[in-house]
Structures are given as structure tokens and as C-alpha cells.
Amino acid sequence: AQRVTQPEKLLSVFKGAPVELKCNYSYSGSPELFWYVQYSRQRLQLLLRHISRESIKGFTADLNKGETSFHLKKPFAQEEDSAMYYCALANQAGTALIFGKGTTLSVSS
């Protein structure tokens, strides 16, 4: 079965603290994984994808096949990082994304 699990509904941190948003997946073969973000009153948008190994807005995510995880990390949270974050997995057919339920990140000063 193809599935994405985000175990935390809400993560609250103070500004400057490290952030780790957890994502675990279930997939047969080589997964294609993404993080999407939705800021308040804005559209859902792509944050990063594992194949590009990029760092966007200070966020990184490493695919760990042994632990079937793709956690999103940032060393120092900023208030503007407050948003809803969704982890997503491309399906076997390649036509769709399977999303987790999302984690709300709240960064306060």
C-alpha cells in the first residue's frame, strides 16, 4: 500500500529553535517524495522535492529508505515559517500525489 503518515497535527516551537516535521511513507520501490506548504490565506505550493536535494528557505529533507522517512528540518525557525506543511508521495502510476494529513507549524517569539 502507498501511504504517507505525518504523526504530528501541530508542532509549536520558539523562534530560533530547530524544527523537525516528521513524515513516514509506505511504498514498494524507489519513492518520489515532496514537501508542500500552505501559508495562511495562500495557495498550496511546492517547497522541495527529494530528488533535487535542494534547500529552500533554509529547509532540507533527507530520504531515509531504511526508516522509510522524509523528515523536514530547519536549524533555526522563523516566525514566517508558521504554516501548514504536507508531505507527499508520487503514486506508482506516476499520475498523482498521495498527501499526508499535514502538520501545522507554529513559530512564536
Partner 1 sequence: GAGVSQSPRYKVAKRGQDVALRCDPISGHVSLFWYQQALGQGPEFLTYFQNEAQLDKSGLPSDRFFAERPEGSVSTLKIQRTQQEDSAVYLCASSLDDAADRPRSFGPGTRLTVT
Residues engaged in binding partner 1 (CB under 8 A): 4, 34, 43-46, 49, 86, 88, 90-91, 93-102
Give the alpha-carbon dihedral of 67, 85, 31, 89, to 10 degrees.
130
State how far the Cα of 48 lies from the Cα of 27, in Å rounded to an integer. Answer: 19
**Min separation Cβ 64 and partner 1, Å:** 21
Query: Least separation, in Å, of the C-beta of 62 and partner 1?
Result: 19
Instruction: Choose among 78, 86, 87: nearest CA to 106.
Output: 78
Q: How far is the CB of 73 from partner 1 (least distance, A)?
A: 20
How many angstroms separate the CA atoms of 74 and 42, rounded? 21
- Distance, CA of 75 to CA of 28 (rounded, Å): 31
Instruction: CB nearer to partner 1: give 15 or 49.
Output: 49
Our measurement of the distance from residue 31's CA atom to the centroid of its chain's CA atoms, rounded to an integer in Å, reads 14
Residue 46 C-beta: closest distance to partner 1, Å: 5
Nearer to partner 1, 50 or 73 (CB): 50
Q: Which is nearer to partner 1, 8 or 15 (CB)?
A: 8
Return the number of the residue (28 or 52) whose C-beta is nearest partner 1.
52
